[in-house]
Amino acid sequence: MKIHNTQEPMHKIREIYHKAPLRSMEELSPIKKLADQHRLVAIDQWLSGVEEYLKQNFDTALQLFDLAIQMDPEIEFPWNAKGNILAADEEYDLALKAYEKAVQLYPGYAFAWNGMGNVYHYMGQHTRAVECFDKAIEIHPSFSYTWNGKGNALRSLGQFTEALLCFEKSIQLDPADSYPRNGKANVMRILSETEKALNMYKDTVKINPEDVYTWTGMGHVLRLLGRHKEALDAYEKAILLNPNDQYPWNGKGKTLASMGLCEESLVAFKKSLDLKHDDPYTWKSMAESLSNLGRSERALEACDQAIKLNSADPGILYEKGKILRHLGREKEALDEYEKALLLNLKAIEASKKS
């Protein structure tokens, strides 16, 4: 059943909604009033989905968004909302189709362009992501999330100066948002500005002490600075906030390994792999700890698992070479070292061309 909506109320609804995403029940009321006044049943259905989404009842929300689309497939809002849920579920191809439909129906839909940019970033298509973020910024330059998303994509492209400018713009627009603060600190860490990064994380936890990523990032920096006890404390705070996030477990494992506590590190790496079994870098870290404990055969198995997941990382191949050498398999070790060297040379050539 398609519900035909008059142009004037839809214009008013767009004026309200396109200023900022709906983040609280109170923000729904002006749109709800217009939907009820003009009997916009599909809009009402979409708002019911938003209400469930805000309660984190995502399966119910998705069903309601689909019902709204069935009622009127030419309203852009439920398509974008559907894209958000599909993206969170890592259904990236389906999410892109939903976002594309949303911007096809309403090209000035900044939030949908932003969602599309995020999906392309998650898929590793960072240049396309930047294009989508730029479109969103052109439409809605004061939307802080888009500047943060563009910063993430530029960081992945190795354009660190430009990424920092985007994170700073996002922070300026929303000083309380921890995401661009963490993004800026992460780039500082990559640029070896570790003390600056640490200060950024410290400032951020004052604003939002419940953010897992801030505590995890702080742990990474403290570990790089050799402040292992403080790093462990930061990782433990992150784990306490969300024990189902793999990254603080991984960081905890690396810190314990750096302290020579390889047996304890294996427990943390195992927990990290229980949460995300296909992370090649955790497998590599586990291989290093096993090798340091003299369990070379098991270390080789872990390293092979890492290579199976990512055969293009020279660091993983180099680690395998070390393990093979410890096992006395010199010829095989040399083969792995040569592969790692070749990958490094290719990376250097590619960076020169870019």
Look at the chain and report how many structural domains it folds into. 2
pLDDT at position 5? 45
Residue 189 covered by a domain: no
Residue 321 covered by a domain: yes
**In this structure, what CATH number is given to the domain that contains residue 292?**
1.25.40.10
pLDDT at position 174? 94
pLDDT at position 6? 55
pLDDT at position 350? 67
- Pick the last residue of a domain from 106, 130, 157: 106
> What is the DSSP secondary-structure string of 214-247?
HHHHHHHHHHHTT-HHHHHHHHHHHHHH-TT-HH
Residue 240 covered by a domain: no
Residue 179 covered by a domain: no
What is this structure's pTM? 0.85
pLDDT at position 4? 44
Q: Could you list the residue range(s) of the whole structural domain that residue 303 is in?
A: 278-354
Residue 90 covered by a domain: yes
Residue 325 covered by a domain: yes
Query: CB under 8 Å, gap of 24 or more: what pairs does 311-320 form?
Result: 312/343, 313/280, 313/284, 313/343, 314/339, 314/340, 314/341, 314/343, 314/344, 314/347, 315/284, 315/340, 316/280, 316/284, 317/343, 319/284, 319/287, 319/288, 319/291, 320/287
Q: Which residue has the higher pLDDT, 15 or 301?
A: 301
Give the model confidence (pLDDT) of 197-220 as tens digits: 999 999 999 999 999 999 999 999
pLDDT at position 3? 41
Distance, CA of 170 to CA of 166 (rounded, Å)? 6
pLDDT at position 353? 62
pLDDT of residue 1 exceeding 60: no
Residue 203 covered by a domain: no
- Within 10 angstroms of residue 236's Cβ, the number of other Cβ atoms is 14
Residue 161 covered by a domain: no
**Mean pLDDT value of segment 150-158:** 96
pLDDT at position 348? 76
- Pick the last residue of a domain from 106, 135, 161: 106
Give the model confidence (pLDDT) of 318-348 as tens digits: 999 999 999 999 999 999 999 999 988 887 7
Q: What rounded mean pLDDT belongs to the chain?
A: 94
pLDDT of residue 2 exceeding 80: no
User: Which DSSP letter does residue 91 get?
Assistant: -
- Pick the last residue of a domain from 68, 89, 106: 106
